[in-house]
Structure 1
Amino acid sequence: MKFRSVMIDAGPMREFTNIVSTISKLSKECILRLSSDQIFFIVCDENSGPAPPILWCEIPQAMFFSEYQLIGLDDDHKDIYLGLTSDRMRSMASEVVIRASAEGRLTLQIKTDMAKVSTRFRDLRVESFGETQNNEDTSRVCCCRVDAKKLSMFLSADMISHNRTIASVVHKKLVVLCLHTDENVKLQCFISGIVY
């Protein structure tokens, strides 16, 4: 089975995030069903055993994704089903790899035995791209592995109205995230890198 999708436009991203946030507040567990033309979020009563769903959300994939590729198990089993526990990266893995490139790309990625999940942002403004003391070739890409819970804590601050978000990545050592509000308030989060 394989699944890959790309979401580019800010409007659909916001709407998709709002849908997922709403569902996550209603239930800790959810079934995600991926089909060729629709995405379904299905919530069943936690204590009822096999029963009809109490929530069914149907999303036409073409309205949200610029690219959408799905390969099922075989011709008789084309859809993919995933069980999710409270639709976040920190629930799937304990660590997130953050990559920033000189070309203005930012990637958040997790890996498990079952899946690799990436969130990518393109065409971002790069204010500076420095060099490291140990002479590693970071002229094009910097990356840092961080604790998923700490990153999630910052991402939940997205509810604060802000006009700018800055991410600074010190290769393999530190990620600094900062929200700027219209009232000139800065909210900063410092996440040390995990080194093996």
Structure 2
Amino acid sequence: MKFRAKMIDVGCLNHFTRVVNTIAKLTKSCVLRLTADNLYFVLSGKVASGGVSMWCELLQVNFFDEYQLEGVSAEANEICLEVSPENLSRALKTAQNAKSVKVKLTKKHCPCLTLAAELPSLSSISRAVTHDIPVDVIPRRLWHDFKEPSMPDFDVSIYLPPLKTIKNVVDRMKNLSHYLVMEANLNGEMNLKIETDLVSVTTHFKDLGNPPWGDDASQSRDPEEMAYARVDIRKLQQFLIGQQVNPSKAMCNIVHKKILHLILLHEDVSLQYFIPAVA
């Protein structure tokens, strides 16, 4: 197995750093899946047992000026690594104004992602900072756990209002309850609701629009009928706190009483986040 890549463009480096910072806010550990064309950050929580799951996809050519990969074999040309995104985020912070950043899979005291940043210097002597980030190589027999999640059969799909607006609402609501109900219909309406024995609070959003997935299943659904999911408010807040991707589109698919499926799309990044509903 071999992996090495290089970033020279400062804009690409900063964008990659923002993506990693977002992932670091969502999970302490995840799988970095490397293929010839893409990088994936994967959190494979078992939604059925109350865990969140995440799938973040990056097109490598939009970030790296050089990219070389030799996977575990010719027919399985990819590498899966368990990594701490927080460690990767810290390493990237020291490289913000770097002339170039090289990332390489190395073998030190253990397998590592070695990140070497060439920093600007006022003299002719170059300055470099190197970080060795420990990783665990995931054997091929476990790869099936880290494939792209299938799109759930949702009841309603809706475009989200600005994430900052949702975050402000959720931040206020979290002081009132541990759980939040997100509901939406096919008329572009969405509500965020808190209901307890002492208080009931609802924030209404209208004219958001519904994504055209080309699925006929929802055509027979009453446009006024709400689908909803009641979720742990901390899991939703964690998702909103970490966002630095600045998506061009943000959507939410609701599987009635089962799953909240959040999707952020940027021109070269897509992030999916699954939050299980609670009774």
TM-score scaled by structure 2? 0.36
Structure with bigger gyration radius = 2
Structure in which a larger fraction of residues adopt helix: 2
Structure with bigger RCO (C-alpha 8 Å, 6+ apart): 2
